[in-house]
Amino acid sequence: MLERVALHQTRLNLPGLTLDARGVVIGTHALVVTTSLDRLVALLAALSDDGALGALGAGMAVLELAPQLGARAWALRCVCDAVDVADRLRRAAALVMGHTFVGAGRHFVEHRDGSSPYGFDAPSTQAAGEGLALYHRAYRHACAVVRELPPTRLALALSPRASGAAVKSRARWILAEEGPGRALVGYLARRGVEARVGEVTGRDALSGELTRRLLFVAPSWPASLTALARATPGFTSFVPVASGAAVEEGFSHPFSLDAFADFSGPRLTLFRGRGEPPIQLDDGAPTVSVTSLVRFLATESPPLRLEASRAAVDATTMKLRVVPSERASPVASAAWVPAGELEWLRRLLYLLGRRALEETTLALTAEGALVRSRAGASLPIGVPLRAIGDSVLVPAGFDVSPSLSARALATALEIGPGDLVLLRREGAALFPADSFVSAEAALVAGPSWAPLRAVRVDLAALAEVTLVNDDVALRPLRDLG
């Protein structure tokens, strides 16, 4: 029988057990005991899916136990000095009907559960000999350790299973037969794929003859070549899951291989699907770039020289074109008003305030008027214009092709200081700086003086005026209106 540990208890009977800051029993190691090796493999797979296998870290070992009473058992021993990690280990062990123990050295006691939140302690110790002493509420066993196996051995014995999950990593390891592998070297070099290649030698399983294959390691395999690597005969594509391990694409390993120290390099392990045995490479990752294996041909032609030729520059001259643009146009600061809408422009200027008239200038031509406003307000009539720099205007929704900077465009059009150029699909027009006048000056016309002729008035010719004073009635103002 076990004793439940109480809150604030300070003394424990079993050697190697301690209490953490919350008063929970913990040791230096954790031990999960299962009844078969298959259940132990299922435990490691469950810990991989839960993400707890990586938290266990190095120091894991698989033990084959021989209890004094009962059948053989298999156990997973790992370094564990945190109660939270032991709790995750107990929850995963319960799924495979395993028992979780904590302790140190040769004595291990059952880990806490809901019936005893602070853990358990044994009232007395049991001789463990050269093996382990297990203290459980249902039994006490002295188990001999038949053998100890590294978990890596189990990982190598398991074949990856088919998986349809999408692969997010772009890194690939490509194992190619010698013939197509030599062609792949030049293909990757021409495509500019950053990859390294090394030779893999081995013995054929049937004939015993020496075999040669090439291993390509690419940190970023192009997506366009994914189908090539998987569908071409002689190529096998692997997805790296650890710095020293990769699984064939389309398959997944039951364990999280990055949790095992043996798969952290420099040895490389390639896990193949369809029940094929894994391939282990002791030489490590290849270090030769595919570009260094491509043969370069020298040429005896003289080097090219750059000469400044005016004729060559004129041959490349291009005409400016005003083309529709997909970019959003900014707020228009000018407008082109055709001649047919000048009357509407005159009426609109009457409605503008004094400040708007002062900030508006226009240039009149036979075809229309170019109206600018420093306030940035756009007119509801005419064609809105957007500015390219300070001296070029184009209709809103259009751009200049080829796309030039404002400075280069002003230089190409030879625009003087203060001048303005309007570029339309119908043509271009230059507006000198002195062609613009203020809107208030253009609105007010000069006076036309008309002489007035004085006429002499003959007073005798006027009719006699008689004033009549009638009585005031109810409507004294009836005759007014």
| Per-residue pLDDT tens digits for 370-425 | 888 876 556 778 888 888 888 888 888 888 877 778 788 887 777 888 888 888 88
Decide if pLDDT at 317 tops 70.
no
Q: Which of 146-160, 170-184, 247-261, 326-340 has the lowest mean pLDDT?
A: 326-340
The distance in angstroms from the start CA to the end CA of the chain is 125
Close Cβ partners of 118 (under 8 Å, ≥ 6 residues apart)? 4, 5, 6, 7, 9, 23, 24, 25, 112
Residue of 447 and 289 predicted with greater confidence: 289
The stretch 455-470 carries a mean pLDDT of 59
The stretch 154-166 carries a mean pLDDT of 86
Decide if pLDDT at 463 tops 70.
no
Decide if pLDDT at 298 tops 60.
no
Q: Which of 12-16, 114-118, 125-129, 296-300 has the lowest mean pLDDT?
A: 296-300
For the ranges 279-293, 300-314, 364-378, the one whose mean pLDDT is highest: 279-293
- Mean of pLDDT over the chain: 82
The stretch 166-179 carries a mean pLDDT of 86
- Find out whether 240 and 222 touch, Cβ atoms under 8 Å: no
Residue with tokens 């570009």: 291
**What pLDDT, on a 0 to 100 scale, did the predictor assign at position 335?**
87
Per DSSP, the three-state class of 230 is helix
Decide if pLDDT at 27 tops 70.
yes
**310: confidence class by pLDDT, cuts 50, 70, 90:** low
Distance, in Å, from the CA atom of 260 to the CA atom of 256, rounded to the nearest integer, reads 8
Specify the pTM: 0.56
Decide if pLDDT at 108 tops 90.
yes
**179: confidence class by pLDDT, cuts 50, 70, 90:** confident
**481: confidence class by pLDDT, cuts 50, 70, 90:** low
| Displacement of CA 199 from its chain's centroid (Å) | 35
Decide if pLDDT at 313 tops 60.
no
- Residue-wise DSSP of 400-429: EES---HHHHHHHHTPPTT-EEEEETTEEE
Q: Which of 118-122, 143-147, 412-416 has the lowest mean pLDDT?
A: 412-416
The stretch 272-284 carries a mean pLDDT of 86
**What pLDDT, on a 0 to 100 scale, did the predictor assign at position 91?**
93
Q: Which of 211-215, 304-308, 322-326 has the lowest mean pLDDT?
A: 304-308
The stretch 158-172 carries a mean pLDDT of 85
Close Cβ partners of 306 (under 8 Å, ≥ 6 residues apart)? none
- Residue-wise DSSP of 226-242: HHHHHHSTTEEEEEEEE
**457: confidence class by pLDDT, cuts 50, 70, 90:** low
Per-domain residue ranges of the chain: 3-149, 159-293, 321-443
Residue of 304 and 202 predicted with greater confidence: 202
The stretch 332-336 carries a mean pLDDT of 83
Report angle CA 89, 91, 93 to the nearest 5 degrees: 65
**What pLDDT, on a 0 to 100 scale, did the predictor assign at position 264?**
83
Closest CA to 37 of 158, 161, 128: 158
Distance, in Å, from the CA atom of 371 to the CA atom of 379, rounded to the nearest integer, reads 9
User: Please, which residues bridge with residue 394 across strands?
Assistant: 386
**What pLDDT, on a 0 to 100 scale, did the predictor assign at position 50?**
80
Close Cβ partners of 447 (under 8 Å, ≥ 6 residues apart)? none
Distance, in Å, from the CA atom of 481 to the CA atom of 475, rounded to the nearest integer, reads 12
**What pLDDT, on a 0 to 100 scale, did the predictor assign at position 18?**
92
The stretch 342-350 carries a mean pLDDT of 82
**What pLDDT, on a 0 to 100 scale, did the predictor assign at position 308?**
54
Share of the chain above pLDDT 70, in %: 85
As given in the structure block, the two tokens for residue 52 are 């707890």
Q: Which of 255-259, 283-287, 439-443 has the lowest mean pLDDT?
A: 439-443
| Displacement of CA 392 from its chain's centroid (Å) | 40
Residue of 40 and 405 predicted with greater confidence: 40
Give residue-wise pLDDT tens across range 79-106: 988 999 999 999 999 999 999 999 998 9
Distance, in Å, from the CA atom of 318 to the CA atom of 382, rounded to the nearest integer, reads 30
The stretch 215-243 carries a mean pLDDT of 86
**What pLDDT, on a 0 to 100 scale, did the predictor assign at position 478?**
57
